[in-house]
Structures are given as structure tokens and as C-alpha cells.
Amino acid sequence: MQNTTLDNSFVNRLKQILESRYGKGLQIRQLMDLSVLENDKEAFTRGRDLHVPIRVNGAFLGTAVVPSADDLNDEKRQGVTQLIRMVLEPAMYKWYLEQKESNLAEITKANLNLDNV
């Protein structure tokens, strides 16, 4: 059976690094309201939280949220953003491609008649 969630080893290691370097936590949201995203920004603040949208090849894969990041200066925010992107973009894109492949395999197995679609 194929794993249907993002590999937790990447997320757990990233959480450890953020905690040790910046004293911050991390949440991953793979579903969210896309209307709140600012397309041209690498990261944005909502309330006290730093949101880092994860996009690869035009696909929105989710958002990394660093709670209570309002006390980080611009340099540290940039470091957090780059670290999150460096770790999560490849991991989430791999997961995304695996899901697309799995979906295609299921459609193929079902022998659906797609003439009316």
C-alpha cells in the first residue's frame, strides 16, 4: 500500500532545526483557502504567524506555518523561509508526483469510459 501522507522524517527534522536555531515550531497545511495567498510573495505574515507557501512548477502544494514568528527580524525570517523551502519543496513535490501516479494507476485499473467526460 502506498503512503498517502508526506514523509514525516523530513518534517520532523525540519521542526528540530527550526526549534534549535530559531526557537520556533512548524505546522504543515496542505489544504487552505487560496484566496489569502499573495502570488508574488515568498512568505507573508498573518497575525503573528509566518506563512510560507510551497509551490513547485506552478502547483500549490501547501503552506508551512511558523507560529508566533512576529519577533523574528527580516534576516531571520528570510533564513527560516529559505530553510523551509529547501527542505519541503522537494519532499512535497515528490509526494505530489506519487499521488498523481497513484491516481492515474487507479483510473487505469477502473477501465472508466471517459467519452462523456
According to the per-residue pLDDT averaged within each range, which of 5-9, 55-59, 111-115 is highest?
55-59
Closest CA to 77 of 107, 105, 51, 108: 51
What phi and psi, each to the nearest 5 degrees, are found at residue 56?
-140, 130
Q: Model confidence over 15-63: pLDDT tens digits?
A: 999 999 999 999 988 766 565 565 667 899 889 999 999 988 888 888 9
Average pLDDT over residues 2-16: 72
pLDDT of the residue at 115: 65
Closest CA to 47 of 68, 25, 74, 33: 68
Measured distance CA(22)–CA(8) in Å, rounded:
20
Measured distance CA(116)–CA(91) in Å, rounded:
36
pLDDT of the residue at 116: 60
